[in-house]
Amino acid sequence: MEEASHVQKKLKYPKAVFFIISNEFCERFAYYGMRTVLVLYLHDILLYSENTSTVIYHTFAMLAYLTPIFGAMLADSVLGKFKTIFYISIVYAVGQLMLAASATPWLNFGPREFAILGLILVAIGTGGIKPCVSAFGGDQFILPQQAAALSTFFSLFYFAINSGSLISTYITPIFREDITCFGEKTCFSLAFFVPAALMTLSLVIFLLGKPLYKIREPEGNVVLNASRCITYSIQKKIATSKKNKREHWLDYADDKYSPKMIEDMKATMRVLKLFLPLPFFWALFDQQGSRWTFQAVNMNGELGWLTLKPDQMQIMNPFLILVFIPLFNGCLYPLFNKLRIINTPLKKLTFGGLLAAFSFLISALVEFQIEKTYAVVPIAGSAQLRIFNTLNCTVPITVQNETTEIKALDFWENKDITAKGSVELNFTANFASCHKDKYSIESGDTRGKIRVTEAEATSWVITRTGLDFSYTDSVKKAKDKDFRLRGLVSLQDTESGTLKLVQDVTTKAKFILTKNLSLTNLEEFSAGTFDIYLNETRVLQSVNFKKGGVYTIVGYLSNTIKVAKVITITPDNWVHMLWLLPQYIVITMGEVMFSVTGLEFAFTQAPTSMKSLLQAAWLLTVAFGNLIVIIIAETSLMKQSYEFLLFCGLMVIDMLIFALMAKFYKYVEEPDKETEGNDIPMHQKIGSVNSSFVDDSGNKTER
């Protein structure tokens, strides 16, 4: 031991790894920064629907987890790790720059086409280098002498990944929303360009370290060899199974592949079978960047002087990961072991999956509350009708068979009128209370017809000449931090006037009022508190217009009377964004139990020669999980809350199936001693296969 310690002291810590760690920090900043704002870019700027934006987002994520297999093959069989990282990083940086260019209005590119091509290149880039960078860092160490130094490297590498994602997830939404550029209210071009610059810097840093790197030549690809073995076994079984029966279908390949290769493949297939239910976890987990971000868009992010942005909520996952990993390893797992519950890898995987299902139950409950704030948009087969009273008096009115009293500066609405095409509705109104105030209206009942149109929101207005004015309204919520507002002011004994919105003594908007009735345009403003003025007279004080709300200021202006009232057409986003915290906490707890345990399980249960194959298969479960989201998003016609419940139910069923499969699995035990050797990679030392197994109840059995 003293001699080994002396040898380790003589070996210098490889300086090359600091270039690799810096490279990883920049690359993770670039990837997570871009991905954080991606779904909002697709929806708000490229104008895809929420479903289509979700599909594109998860298609991108799926490609990012499919391409690692090809990156690993390229590195192991053709180019080696260094050249693979370098060449594919160039593709990666070009894709990031193309995405930034697509968001730049004055560049006359097809923004949708350029964005999609950029995303494809980014997916190839991030996936292609994913299996190479950490392994290339491991190649810089001499083992077993520098085993402790290698452990430090992986800790620093993990810190670089999480710090890069934490910082970029917080910063890029600020670039997107708080900075304006090219005459637009947002600056997605900067939100994409900064990650692109970091990716370019990542490439430069990686190249600068080349004189210090230990570069290994390609040694052959395990994934490719395993695929050939499986294909050959199946072909041979089909051709000869009637003549030559074998105990296992892989045994048919024994004329071409060694007994050790076949035994290793059998052990690998036992693990791969358990991987079949696992994609469902990733189907839920990766919706943090799509469905959950859209969920946050419809919520209130105000926290005193700070306003949370919808895409910034994604920062909770990497932050909570850093909190939960030491908590689980230091406290919860030892407690579980003492209580003899959730004390094996497969039990942890099962419980982690159930936590993910529970997080989607929580998200459905939150969504039920958010739905109360959604705009009720007129659809085919129905119409909406609103009647505004701009007079300073109450008007009893009957529309069809529904009777109500519309008070001064108030309104009545019916959001669901059966309509095909254009429909006329009978009305009766009584203006007796208005006639005594010398309005130009008959004092008795007035009868007539008003028209509404299918799939439109029609507003009619009571003025001093009767119910004789209408317009097509919009009830859709504003984007980002805005609210929508229009003025509807009746003028009496005056031919003109002004309506102003004042915030902190600054006039934010001024509308000129003319004629009998003034209807202003429906405009968007940043949420905040305003005073309302009619003809320089403050009629409303400290009105809080909140994000997402659609409002109409109904006013009455005469020489002696100046009054106004704010009518809410569509409610603001009153559900606070912090209500998303429980679902983020629960799914991150699930991730710690599922993802971290699953990576360890895939590594330790694989034969030494098959570890890279199982790591690749683990990444494939993420890709197929995103495919599940794509299929459901494309085919689902249910509202979002029900879709969340669907994912919750499917995940519970999936984990019950997994638990049943896990019950029959026999664990491979880790060896007590490492294989000796001076320059054997650590990943070949840690998982050497032993003939002893443990089943999922913790009982050891012999092979």
pLDDT tens digits, residue range 3-55? 555 555 567 889 999 999 999 999 999 999 999 999 999 999 999 999 999 99
Q: How many residues are there in the chain? A: 703
Per-domain residue ranges of the chain: 12-220, 258-374+573-664, 376-475, 478-572
Q: Which amino acid is at 76?
A: D
Question: Exposed, middle or buried, 520 (CB in 10 Å: 0-12/13-18/19+)?
Answer: middle
Average pLDDT over residues 403-411: 95
Topology, domain 376-475 = Immunoglobulin-like (2.60.40)
Q: What is the pLDDT of residues 122-178, one digit of tens each?
A: 999 999 998 899 889 988 988 788 888 887 888 788 889 989 999 999 999 999 999
Return the SS3 of 460.
strand
**If phi over 0 gives left and psi between -120 and 50 gives alpha, with beta otherwise, what is residue 421?**
left
Is the model's pLDDT at 258 over the cut of 70? yes
Average pLDDT over residues 389-410: 93
Q: Residue 672's pLDDT is what?
A: 46
Return the SS3 of 411.
strand
User: Residue 147's CB: how many other CB atoms inside 10 A?
Assistant: 16
Residues 431, 443: contact at Cβ < 8 Å?
A: yes
Question: Which stretch of 118-127, 235-244, 540-549 has the lowest confidence by average pLDDT?
Answer: 235-244
Residues 343, 336: contact at Cβ < 8 Å?
A: yes
Q: Residue 679's pLDDT is what?
A: 36
> Which pLDDT band, with edges at 50, 70 and 90, does 514 fall under?
confident
Residues 30, 91: contact at Cβ < 8 Å?
A: no
Average pLDDT score over the chain: 88
Q: Residue 703's pLDDT is what?
A: 26
Q: Residue 162's pLDDT is what?
A: 86
Q: CA nearest 290: which of 691, 604, 630?
A: 630
Task: Please determine whether the domains at 12-220 and 478-572 fall in the same fold group of CATH.
Answer: no
% the chain with pLDDT above 90: 65
> Which pLDDT band, with edges at 50, 70 and 90, does 436 fall under?
low
Question: Which stretch of 486-490, 524-528, 648-652 has the lowest confidence by average pLDDT?
Answer: 524-528
Is the model's pLDDT at 683 over the cut of 60? no
Average pLDDT over residues 272-293: 96
Residue 56 CA to residue 551 CA, distance in Å, equals 33
Residue 487 CA to residue 535 CA, distance in Å, equals 14
> Which pLDDT band, with edges at 50, 70 and 90, does 520 fall under?
very high
Average pLDDT over residues 548-562: 93
Q: Residue 431's pLDDT is what?
A: 85
Determine whether domain 12-220 maps to CATH 3.40.50.620: no
Q: Residue 86's pLDDT is what?
A: 96
User: Hey, which residues does 92 pair with through a beta bridge?
Assistant: none
Residue 375 CA to residue 380 CA, distance in Å, equals 16
Q: What is the pLDDT of residues 57-70, one digit of tens each?
A: 999 999 999 999 89
Question: Which stretch of 143-152, 536-545, 583-592 has the lowest confidence by average pLDDT?
Answer: 143-152
DSSP conformational letter for 242: T
What does the block give as tokens for 237?
């079984």
| 3-state secondary structure string across 114-180 | HHHHHHHHHHHHHHHHCCCHHHHHHCCCCCCCCHHHHHHHHHHHHHHHHHHHHHHHHHHHHHHHHCC
Topology, domain 478-572 = Immunoglobulin-like (2.60.40)
Q: Which amino acid is at 192?
A: F
Question: Exposed, middle or buried, 2 (CB in 10 Å: 0-12/13-18/19+)?
Answer: exposed
Most confident of 76-85, 86-95, 658-667: 86-95
> Which pLDDT band, with edges at 50, 70 and 90, does 702 fall under?
very low
Q: CA nearest 114: which of 97, 92, 98?
A: 98
> Which pLDDT band, with edges at 50, 70 and 90, does 109 fall under?
confident
Average pLDDT over residues 563-572: 96
User: Hey, which residues does 510 pair with through a beta bridge?
Assistant: 500
Average pLDDT over residues 118-123: 98
Average pLDDT over residues 417-428: 93
Average pLDDT over residues 351-376: 97
DSSP 424-459: EEEEEEE-HHHHTTT-SS-SSEEEEEEEEETT-EEE
Residues 49, 43: contact at Cβ < 8 Å?
A: yes
DSSP 508-555: EEEEEEESSEEE---EEEESEEEEEEETTEEEEEEEEE-TT-EEEEEE
Q: What is the pLDDT of residues 320-357, one digit of tens each?
A: 988 998 899 899 999 999 999 999 999 999 999 999 99
Is the model's pLDDT at 223 over the cut of 90? no
Is the model's pLDDT at 251 over the cut of 80? yes
Question: Exposed, middle or buried, 681 (CB in 10 Å: 0-12/13-18/19+)?
Answer: middle
Q: Which residue has the higher pLDDT, 108 or 230?
A: 230
Residue keyed to tokens 């840690």: 686
Is the model's pLDDT at 477 over the cut of 80? yes
What does the block give as tokens for 635?
């085919």
Q: Residue 413's pLDDT is what?
A: 96
User: Hey, which residues does 458 pair with through a beta bridge?
Assistant: 385, 472
Average pLDDT over residues 395-419: 94
What does the block give as tokens for 12?
């210098």
Is the model's pLDDT at 649 over the cut of 90? yes
Return the SS3 of 25.
helix
Average pLDDT over residues 492-515: 90
Question: Could you tell me whether strands 466-473 and 457-463 are parallel, antiparallel, or unpaired per DSSP bridges?
Answer: antiparallel
% the chain with pLDDT above 70: 92
Kindly report the backbone phi and psi dihedral angles of residue 506, in degrees, each rounded to the nearest multiple of 5, phi listed first: -105, 130
Q: Which residue has the higher pLDDT, 606 or 142?
A: 142
Q: CA nearest 284: which of 646, 661, 659, 34?
A: 646
Residues 478, 488: contact at Cβ < 8 Å?
A: no
Sign of CA dihedral 351, 352, 356, 358: positive
Q: Residue 674's pLDDT is what?
A: 41
Q: Residue 440's pLDDT is what?
A: 62
Question: Exposed, middle or buried, 326 (CB in 10 Å: 0-12/13-18/19+)?
Answer: exposed
Topology, domain 258-374+573-664 = Growth Hormone; Chain: A; (1.20.1250)
Residue 296 CA to residue 527 CA, distance in Å, equals 16
Residue 564 CA to residue 390 CA, distance in Å, equals 9
